[in-house]
Structure 1
Amino acid sequence: ERPAAAAVVAAAGAHLRGGRGRLTDPVLLHHLLWTAVDVCAELGLPLQLHTGFGDPDLTLHRADPSLLTDFVRATEPSAVPLVLLHGYPYHRQAAWLAQAFPTVYTDLGLTASYAGPRVAAVLGEMLELAPFGKLLFSTDAYGLPELYLVGTCQFRYGLDAVLAGWQADGACSAADAERVARLVAADNARRLYAL
């Protein structure tokens, strides 16, 4: 829920008096999330939410995207697309949210750079649930510049392995595989971000 203005002012004062560090006050977090929803609605842009692993100062089980379910439901009337970034190791939960809610999208950013040869399995698990039109590729643009190349190569390797397996099993044609690859690799992002 949107917090009352007085509660936001009180929480901000307490946070500023308390010093620096990760913002954890639920009133401030709710205020910032709803402010972001309002700005994204005005600008016609999606709201990106970092989920899963990444920063070393997070508590991983609190980064499970399924914990955002009530927020997703509350923001549905705004029609603002929510993009769940990373997700891993909760990528299946992110994929489920993308399947269950019309405004939710997910990406595999950052994961491909670190998953190594398991990237195909992770991508396959996401594609089990996430609609093909709601999964986006990214490298996360984080860390060493070499990781952008590694993430891109890993993603291509993983997606090719998944789609080749589907074709070998007769689950899709070469044309279907090409269409899914285009959607996930570029077309979904182009559509969502109006590029």
Structure 2
Amino acid sequence: MSEEIARFVYSLPIIDTHEHIQDENARIQGPHDPISIFLSHYLSTDFLISGIDPKTLEKLRDPSIPLDEKWSDFVKFWELSRNTGYARVIRIILRDIYGEEEITFESIKRVAGKMKEMCRKGFYKYILKDRANIELCIVDVSKTDVDRELFAPVLRFDDFIYVHSRDDIKRLSKKVGVEIKSLRDMIKALRTSVERVKGSIVGIKTGLAYNRTLLYENVDFKEAEMIFNKLIARESSHLSFEEVKPLQDFMMHYLATIAGELGLPIQIHTGLQEGVWNDLRNSNPLLLIELLREHKNTKFDIFHAGYPFSRELGALAKQFPNVYLDLCWLHAISPDAARRILSEWLDLLPVNKILAFGGDYVFVEGAYGHAKIARENVIKVLTEKIDSGDMTLDEAKYVARRILRENALELFPIRK
């Protein structure tokens, strides 16, 4: 039975809900240094929390520094971190893509040579479609000019929300090409900016949990306007977060209104933040309740399973029809946690509420390695459900098809 569900899961072309994959031409141009590439995302955080000096990490990330000059530092912190989910992604990449079972000085040199040889036009298609069986990646790369065979973009409008000073408004005016002198100008500029790209994007992304609390209170226009006027009157200093928060909250609610009118889901970062010294208290998905309740016609794709607040997020989705739960990034953060959360959510929620995979990597091989862990997790969870009698094989196949593919196709305006 497990072999049959495994074959089925691996046969499914995934819709990957979240990536940051760099442009293929930039990757082809190089440099082709495995250490700097693998430490560009996620594994670097494990190195930092295991004790590496940030200056040493920057040395490891510098592709101009020869391998023999950084190998001893790299291998020291690799050995400390090789047990993590992030490292598991790298080990899968090395084995499956580059044919190396272990990281050694000699194997990394061979990988560098293979990277240089393989990184040519069509490399992304080979990794994503031929090897990972990913039909389409939803990408957050700050542009809409992407390879539509592989990618569908979302865009951020956080600079309309996260304002603190008159200079922020000036920069925003320059970006949109319209002078913003009033709050009405600002909301008009936001609407125009979103409507201009609505046919080119499949959603809106916000990552402000890295910068501020996710508590977006419902603020009326007059209060927001008073703060805008105070902000615009200041020549040099900026307002404190406490002073400017109502204006930011108002703009987020206005963005949610626009998104609902245009049928664009909003992807929201919640839970763990990448890097170190972040404030997890800002990113609890329960802080979103007021925003979710006020915008019943807007669909919200809540990222990263809210980890470590995943149980709270599951309960949130149990009460809000406009909330969808996304396991993107989580299979790499902790494969075990991802399995436990997915199993619980399948008991808790209708199957159309769950999105099982988003790679969330900047280098394309990361999507492959992460997708493999995700497929194995789905197989293990569904096998357990079948073995316990909670699902039949056909029911498990239906669930796999929904959470790895069909739910994303229904949630996002993906043009086939």
Secondary structure of the 1:17 match is: coil
Q: Is the 8 A contact 1:121 1:158 kept in 2?
A: no
Secondary structure of the 1:48 match is: strand
Corresponding residue number in structure 2 for 1:121: 340
Distance across 1 between alignment mates of 2:225 and 2:379:
53
1:63 matched to 2:280? no
Deviation, 1:27, is 1.6
Distance across 2 between alignment mates of 1:123 and 1:150:
19
| Structure 1 stretches lacking a partner, 5+ long | none
TM-score normalised according to structure 2 size = 0.42
Larger deviation: 140-149 or 153-162?
140-149
1:146 matched to 2:376? no
Deviation, 1:33, is 1.4
State the one-letter code of the partner of 2:279: T
Distance across 2 between alignment mates of 1:2 and 1:84:
23
Q: Is the 8 A contact 1:123 1:162 kept in 2?
A: yes
State the one-letter code of the partner of 1:81: K
1:174-185 superposed matches below 5 A: 174-185=393-404
Return closer, same or farther for 1:73/1:11 CA change in 2, 3 Å cut-off.
farther
Q: Deviations over 1:134-157 (max 9, x none)?
A: 111332533443321222111111
Distance across 1 between alignment mates of 2:243 and 2:365:
33
1:98-117 superposed matches below 5 A: 98-117=317-336
Deviation, 1:114, is 1.8
Deviation, 1:84, is 0.7
State the one-letter code of the partner of 1:184: I
Distance across 2 between alignment mates of 1:97 and 1:37:
18
Corresponding residue number in structure 2 for 1:136: 355
1:71-82 superposed matches below 5 A: 71-76=291-296, 79-82=297-300
Identity of aligned residues (%): 26
Higher relative contact order at CA 8 Å, sep ≥6: structure 1 or structure 2?
2
Q: Is the 8 A contact 2:227 2:243 kept in 1?
A: no
Return closer, same or farther for 1:166/1:138 CA change in 2, 3 Å cut-off.
closer
| Structure 2 stretches lacking a partner, 5+ long | 1-217
Return closer, same or farther for 1:2/1:148 CA change in 2, 3 Å cut-off.
same
Distance across 2 between alignment mates of 1:32 and 1:140:
29
Count the aligned residue pairs.
Answer: 191
TM-score normalised according to structure 1 size = 0.85
Deviation, 1:68, is 1.3
Larger deviation: 1-10 or 108-117?
1-10
Corresponding residue number in structure 2 for 1:2: 219
Distance across 2 between alignment mates of 1:70 and 1:129:
22
Of 378, 392, 397, the residue aligned with 1:173 is 392
Which has more helix, going by share of residues?
Answer: 1
Which entry has the higher C-alpha Rg, 1 or 2?
2
Distance across 2 between alignment mates of 1:115 and 1:23:
35
RMSD: 2.6
